[in-house]
Structure 1
Amino acid sequence: MTATALQIGPAGGALPDAQAWAVRLIDRRTGTCPRRNGSPLVMLTATPDATAAELLAGRDSALWETRAEPIGPARNDRGQA
């Protein structure tokens, strides 16, 4: 996963105007994302590193990885695209 600076609020959470990310869990054996009722498992978040860690918790890292992609335009420090 590529490291990118995020805006962090006083309580440690992402600010509402922070960049949005789609984080997917990937099965290394097949290279695909697991599906539930035909839909891929995707978490939408402003904190991709924390979300990736949560998705990988309790999983064998030899079998699983995560991929994060930014959603929409990148935001600057004022929340403007």
Structure 2
Amino acid sequence: MTADSDMMMHGAVTHVVDIGGRFAAKFHGMDFKNVNLILYVSELINNAQHRRREPNWWDRLTGVFQWVSSRLASGCPRQTEFP
């Protein structure tokens, strides 16, 4: 709020989220050129096609369960005593 008036001014903000669901960019106001947003999103799409997705904590957790279940299914002997 400004001291001169009782009006609140809100600016437009465009948020860009990449294909992995992560925050990628923020464009403030209406002064930016539309072509900049289009080129940025186009590069995100092209880059996502060539980039390997990084494993997150959920991938690692489910990987442990898959590994354990495959070991149990293969009939490997269980270790009864700890070294």
Q: Settle same-fold status: TM greater than 0.5.
A: no
More helix by share: 2
TM-score (ref. length: structure 2)? 0.29
More strand by share: 1
